[in-house]
Amino acid sequence: MKKFFKLLGPKLTAILFLCLMLLIIGLQNLEPANVRVLFWTFLEVPKLYLLFFAFLAGLIAGFALGTLPMPADKPKSITETKPKTSTP
């Protein structure tokens, strides 16, 4: 078995493991659930769809926040820096 995973490589092994976990979680969450947002009640939706849309919303939000420019550090003013004094 170790030779099999060594042949695949760590990246492909991790992807296969995550796909297997996703399949297991998906098969366990097929029952319907009521969705209520404030005053609205949606039809019964399978939990698998809710998990997928929550993951997708998180993925989009993370991507959007990751592409925002970071604020630059403020340059120090001249008065904040102390001049070096030499001792004779």
Domain contains 8 = no
Residue span of the structural domain in which 55 resides:
30-67
pLDDT exceeds cutoff 80 at 31: yes
Domain contains 35 = yes
Domain contains 73 = no
Domain contains 1 = no
* Count of structural domains, the chain: 1
pLDDT digits (tens, 9 = 90+) for 47-85: 888 888 888 888 898 888 888 777 766 666 666 555 566
What is d(CA 50, CA 32) in angstroms, rounded to the nearest whole number? 10
Asked if residues 48 and 29 have their Cβ atoms less than 8 Å apart, the reply is yes
Asked if residues 46 and 32 have their Cβ atoms less than 8 Å apart, the reply is yes
Domain contains 84 = no
- Residues contacting 16, CB < 8 A, separation 6+: 8
pTM: 0.52
Domain contains 42 = yes
Give me the pLDDT at residue 1, please.
60
